[in-house]
Chain A
Amino acid sequence: MPAPTCASCHTARANLRRPRSGQALCGACFCNAFEAEVLHTVLAGRLLPRGAVVAVGASGGKDSTVLAHVLRALAPQLDISLHLVAVDEGIGGYRDAALAAVRHQAARWELPLTVVAYEDLFGGWTMDAVARSTAGSGRSRSCCTFCGVLRRRALEEGARLVGATHIVTGHNADDMAETVLMNFLRGDAGRLARGGGLGSPGEGGALPRCRPLQLASQKEVVLYAHFRRLHYFSEECVYAPEAFRGHARDLLKRLEAARPSAVLDLVHSAERLALAPTARPPRPGACSRCGALASRALCQACALLDGLNRGLPRLAIGKGRRELELEEAPRRSVPAADALTAF
Chain B
Amino acid sequence: MAAPLSVEVEFGGGAELLFDGVKKHQVTLPGQEEPWDIRNLLIWIKKNLLKERPELFLQGDSVRPGILVLINDADWELLGELDYQLQDQDSVLFISTLHGG
Contact = CB atoms under 8 A, between A and B. Distances in A.
A221 B84 CA distance: 25
Contact of B101 (A1, A14, A27, A62): A62
Nearest to A258: B65
Contacts of B80: 1
Contacts of A222: 13, 68, 95, 97
A111 B13 CA distance: 24
Contacts, number: 84
Nearest to B75: A16
Contacts of B99: 61-62, 234-236
Interface residues of A, number: 37
A3 B74 contact: yes
Contacts of A223: 68, 75
* Chain A CB within 10 Å, residue with most, of B12, B74, B97, B101: B101
Nearest to A61: B100
Contacts of A170: 101
Contact of B98 (A4, A64, A249): A249
A2 B71 CA distance: 11
A59 B101 CA distance: 7
B99 to A, nearest CB: 4
Contact of B68 (A1, A219, A254): A219
A1 B83 CA distance: 9
Contacts of B98: 249, 253
B73 A234 contact: no
Interface in A283-298: none
Interface string A207-244: 00000000000110111001000001111110000000
B100 A236 contact: yes
A75 to B, nearest CB: 23
14 contacts: A1-B78, A3-B79, A14-B78, A15-B73, A59-B101, A62-B101, A63-B101, A170-B101, A175-B101, A219-B97, A234-B12, A234-B14, A235-B99, A253-B64
Interface of A: 1-4, 13-17, 24, 27, 59, 61-64, 98, 170, 174-175, 218-219, 221-223, 226, 232-237, 249, 253-254, 256-257
